[in-house]
Amino acid sequence: MAGFETYPGLRAKMGEKDKELVYYMIKMRARDLVGKVVTAKEIEKNSNPVVDEMVQRSIRGNRSMGAIADYLSSAHNNGERFMGSFVIATFGGNPSWEPIALDSSSQLNVMLEKTGSLEDFGVLVLDGTQDYFVLDGQHRLTSLRYLFGQLPEMSDKKKPPQIPPGLQDDELSILLISGEGVKTEKDFRKRLRRIFTVINRHAKSTTPVENISMDEDDIAAVHTRRLLHTIPLFKWSGDPEDTPVVDTQKMQLRQADGHLTTIATIYDM
């Protein structure tokens, strides 16, 4: 099995019958992800025919080197570090799926057989010749590379933060999209473009007000919320007939609004 890669996980499908997209829910260590997965721009540079027509956003270095890298390098100070799932496409590698054999008399086997998901648990086997390409998570991938010292051209512009303990061994959630079942290379290329477009076109960043309401690392946001809970003037009874003094939904007041101020204004002050 030398050269083969194996990933325990779940196998799933989406789409119309006989046209399903096959994907796997697996995990990779951060160091393996950085070593295996590349961005669309890098693959295009190699003229890989699978993605040579891929439309990809430019990776913003200030985002990868800034907020994301800062979070990854300091989150452990608060006892937590988390990254959402990476969506990755793989082509080549002759993928095969090996369902996990269970004792036919076991209760778990009976339950899975009833739900029709007995073969959804198993091991994905790739022969080592595949290429990986990130569809969603390119800025997080670039941030990891930056922290691991693999982007010297970026490091020249800004001294990278120190690698936090355990980051290289973090187990990351991966949604791996396979090209199996797709009749032609052209069809797979078209499918990847559509998936990338859907993921990124409809992605919506949190608003400034939502950040103030939820951020646990921004000290100004934390204190803004504290003021709303401790200063009698800012408190709201919760009665629908009463108008809250502080509008917690908008950045600015409009004419005829019945509020004194907004949460954003208190935050700015």
- Mean pLDDT along residues 118-141: 85
Q: What DSSP designation does 248 have?
A: S
Query: What is the bridge-based pairing of β-strands 86-91 and 171-178?
Result: parallel
Q: Residue 46 above 60 pLDDT?
A: no
Q: Residues 224-238: what's their mean pLDDT?
A: 85
- DSSP-derived secondary structure letter, 151: -
pLDDT band at 51 (very low <50, low <70, confident <90, very high): very low
Mean model confidence pLDDT for the chain: 78
Q: Give residue 55's pLDDT.
A: 33
Mean pLDDT of 91-116: 77
pLDDT confidence of residue 9: 92
pLDDT at 168: 92
Query: At 202, is the pLDDT very low, low, confident or very high (cuts 50, 70, 90)?
Result: low
Q: Sorting pLDDT into bands at 50, 70 and 90, what band is 48?
A: very low
pLDDT at residue 1 tops 70: no
pLDDT digits (tens, 9 = 90+) for 247-256: 888 888 888 8
Please spell the DSSP secondary structure of 188-237, one letter per residue.
HHHHHHHHHHHHHHS--PPPHHHHHHH-SS-HHHHHHHHHHHH-GGG---
Q: Are 22 and 180 in contact, with CB atoms under 8 Å apart?
A: yes
230-251: average pLDDT: 82
